[in-house]
Amino acid sequence: MGGSGDIKLTKDGHTLLTEMQIQNPTASMIARTATAQDDITGDGTTACVIFTGELLKQAERFLQEGLHPRIIADGFDLAKARAIDFLETFQVKVDATDRDLLIDVARTSLRTKVHKQLADHLAPDLVDSVLLVKQEGAPIDLHMVEVMHMLHKSDLDTQLVKGIVMDHGARHPDMPQRLENCYILTCNVSLEWERSEVTSGFYYKDADQRQKLVDAERRVTDDQVDKILELKRKVCPEGSGKSFVVLNQKGIDPLALDALAREGILALRRAKRRNMERLTLACGGDALNSLDEMDEDCLGYAGLVYEQQLGDEKYTFVEDVRHPTSCTMLIRGPHNHVIEQIKETVRDGLRAVRNVLDDEAVVPGAGAFEVACSAHLKEYMMEVKGRAKLGVQAFADAMLCIPKVLAGNGGHDAQDTVIALQEAHQEGKYAGVDLETGDTLDPMKAGIYDAYTVKRQSLHLT
């Protein structure tokens, strides 16, 4: 939406106000509504803005005729309560474990944000990622779906990695770049010389004493490395087809890297803390702060670890993990603008799938609910006494803005489409907008669903 007086949403769904909007309380109200909608449900911000604007437009029509704003507000409150009650009867209870249904939900959300081909490509991956991190008896933590990105020639190369992707690689040229049947050692141990944390001094009389001091410092690191090598030889005997990977949160000096490389160990240093935490959840094992009591039970497992290099950037993939309770959406795109757009699309798609899993219900989409609710409110209007029914009428007319916008976006006549939808609804059918033809369709058969939480929250915020 453009124009200096319109609402502007950033790519993360939050609201920006121009100077004119700050001075305009109406624009500020719409902005706060959209922000609250995004914060709570993660979807439906555009529909919320359109519906709120249409409500104000309908209210202005009666205000110009001399109707008091308080009366219109009372009518809106009555209509909102009735619409929420109607939503409870209009929702459709579903089997939340039905993967095909969840893909349809994700696809419906994604196609409003990116082109059709990319939306259809992303939908199955988003559903699989949410199902992967879903734990019985616990709320779904979408933070366990890590979103990574890399510059690549096509956005259709975006993929789900059922494991971990780290944006750094090995620091030794002789280390292997692809390993299978890997034991994973996750540790936070310094394998390099470190400056003392307290003020101290070391004095020596001759070169021999200096060399002894250097050797003693080196021996501390070498002992740590020897412990790793000993464990590697124990769990990965020669000819077993098993391999060993070290992921260290602290540094590894060149001599230690060289010793590990000679044993065929892939070692990553200065790994990010969030990656270390997710690795233990995905691969199993323990994150060690000391190598003194290290044994096989402390190790995690991954079926495949490999390194991929794009230009100067290195990425390490850890796949086929033991306990895949965390995963990575690897977003690829030709430039940063596309990558940021896909990131926000993935964020909204993940929350759309989570909403359905939490609600175990969907609402027929394509404007079907709005048409049915508008007709229901017009029937309810006859039960309301006094001029408050005019507020109910304004609310009912505003509900039709969604199918009108859908028809207009598809290049069809909005009035003809709305009339066709109302006629189909009178025949007892779910009636949604077919964007390709402008005719009506059954959204349940077409796989077009809205999230129940999104619709309910949108009504509550009006």
Catalytic annotation, residues: 12, 45-46, 348
Cβ atoms of 345 and 155 closer than 8 Å = no
Query: Under a CB-based contact definition with an 8 Å cutoff, are residues 385 and 432 in contact?
Result: no
Q: DSSP label at 157?
A: G
Residue recorded with tokens 């305009």: 24
Residue for token pair 């040229």: 173
Long-range contacts of 7-13, Cβ-Cβ distance < 8 Å, separation of 24 or more: 7/31, 7/34, 7/49, 9/34, 9/45, 9/46, 9/49, 11/340, 11/341, 11/343, 11/344, 12/344, 12/347, 13/38, 13/42, 13/45, 13/344, 13/348
What's the CA gap between 295 and 291, in Å, rounded? Answer: 9
- Give SS3 for 436: coil
Q: What is the DSSP string of 354-409?
A: HHHHHH-EEEETTTHHHHHHHHHHHHHHTT--TTHHHHHHHHHHHHTHHHHHHHHH
Instruction: Specify burial of residue 283 (Cβ count, 10 A radius: 0-12, 13-18, 19+).
Output: buried
Three-point CA angle 439, 443, 446, nearest 5°: 90
The two three-digit tokens of residue 321, written as one number: 């993990």
- For tokens 């025949």, the residue is 427
The CA distance from 332 to 327, in Å, is: 16
Contact 1, 8 (CB under 8 A): yes
Contact 231, 265 (CB under 8 A): no
Describe the chain by its helix, strand, coil percentages, rounded to 5: 50, 15, 30
Distance CA 148, CA 37 (A): 26
Assess contact for 99 and 131: CB atoms under 8 A: yes
User: Tokens representing 105?
Assistant: 């939900």
**Is the distance from CB of 76 to CB of 395 less than 8 angstroms?**
yes
